[in-house]
Amino acid sequence: MEIVFEEIRRRATALPVGVDVLRQEISPDGKWLLLTASAAGQQNLYVYSVDELSKEPSVARQLTSTPGAKRGAHFTPDSKEVYYLDRGRIFNVTLEKREPKAIAVTAELDVDFSQEKAEAFHQAWTYLRDLFFDEKMNGVDWNAVRAAYEPRVAGARTPDEMRRIILMMLGELNASHMGISGPPQTTQTTLGRLAIDVDRTEYEADGRLRVANVVALGPAAIAGVKPGDYILQVDGREVGHRSSGAGDAGRDVGRRFSGAAPGDAGDVT
């Protein structure tokens, strides 16, 4: 089959699916269109008939009705079932019954962060090199950017640090609608940012989080945290040398902060 792209828009037909489509896939038998779509502020899976021999009107049939993003949705080879990820778990649903069922999976995975961060950086840099809208990269020497930021990523100690460095690299392009984020949370969290800087020297020496600076009107400042205080716990969770995102704090940190006498080190507990 050869697709004739010339004036293809004149021959295109819009499908009135009635939902905001994020991703689509045609079933192996060519009769169904699998839609990952949003409606009423909630993302779910739908199927839409594209069978030209069908006598029934085509409407979007909802397969799932749970909150949270649906990812990696694919048909089985017989076009009768769909497998997908929902909040980190594998589900399948049949087109006939439309009753999602969780698939029990147990697996162990050892991740070498030194290799993972290098690969993440390589993919981000290469993706932009190949697909950025401007082949001149907005006038930026993209190879020079790689040389500057690759060693910084190699020195990142946590995934959050890695993403911040890659975000700085993206900023070199001075382009809109660009960013990087961590994987979706499997459970809802109330963690936010403390809006503080910690003493890096002391943190690297013994893992203690000594407040160096406090951003005015930030959560920590409102709670009464001052430079010289030590952060021991946030929302009852101990933080320290192995904590990822040592600057995280709960939204109710103001109620959980126990103040210190003048001249003493206080703790967030």
Tens-place pLDDT, residues 119-172: 999 999 999 999 999 999 999 999 999 999 999 999 999 898 999 999 999 999
Q: How confident is the model at residue 248 (pLDDT cuts 50, 70, 90)?
A: very low
Residue 58 lies inside a defined structural domain of this protein: yes
**71 pLDDT above the threshold of 70:** yes
Tokens linked to 37: 């779509």
What is the average per-residue pLDDT within 10-33? 91
Residue 165: domain span: 113-171
Is residue 38, in this structure, part of any structural domain at all?
Answer: yes
pLDDT in tens, 162-203: 999 999 999 999 998 899 988 765 444 444 578 888 888 888
Structure tokens at 8: 């293809």
Q: How confident is the model at residue 267 (pLDDT cuts 50, 70, 90)?
A: very low
What pLDDT is recorded for position 88?
81
Question: 233: Cβ–Cβ under 8 A, 6 or more apart, which residues?
Answer: 239, 267, 268, 269
| Average pLDDT score, the chain | 84
Do 130 and 82 reside in the same domain of the chain? no
Q: Rounded CA gap, 48 and 34, in Å?
A: 7
State the pLDDT at residue 66: 87
In our burial notation (b when 16+ CB lie closer than 10 A, e otherwise), range 164-190 reads ebbeebbebbeeeeeeeeeeeeeeeee
Tokens at 63, concatenated: 């397969």
Residues whose CB is less than 8 angstroms from the CB of residue 38 and which lie 6 or more positions away in sequence, other chains included: 19, 20, 22, 44
Cβ neighbourhood burial of 72 (10 Å; 0-12, 13-18, 19+): exposed
- Return the CATH number at 132: 3.30.750
Q: Does residue 108 lie within any of the structural domains?
A: no
Which pLDDT value is given to residue 151? 96
**210 φ, ψ (degrees, to nearest 5):** -95, 125
The CATH number of the domain holding residue 90 is: 2.20.25
Q: Which pLDDT score, from 0 to 100, does residue 251 have?
A: 31
| Domain presence at residue 107 | no
Instruction: Report the amino acid identity of residue 172.
Output: E
Paired tokens of 62: 């909802």
Say yes or no: 16 and 94 in one domain. Answer: yes
Q: Are residues 198 and 150 part of one domain?
A: no
- Kindly state whether residue 181 falls inside one of the protein's structural domains: no
Number of domains in the chain: 3
The amino acid sitting at 218 is: G
SS3 label, residue 122:
helix
The mean per-residue pLDDT over the stretch 257-269 comes to 37
pLDDT at residue 55 tops 60: yes
> What is the pLDDT at residue 117?
96
The predicted-structure confidence for 2-14, as pLDDT tens digits, reads as follows 989 999 888 888 8
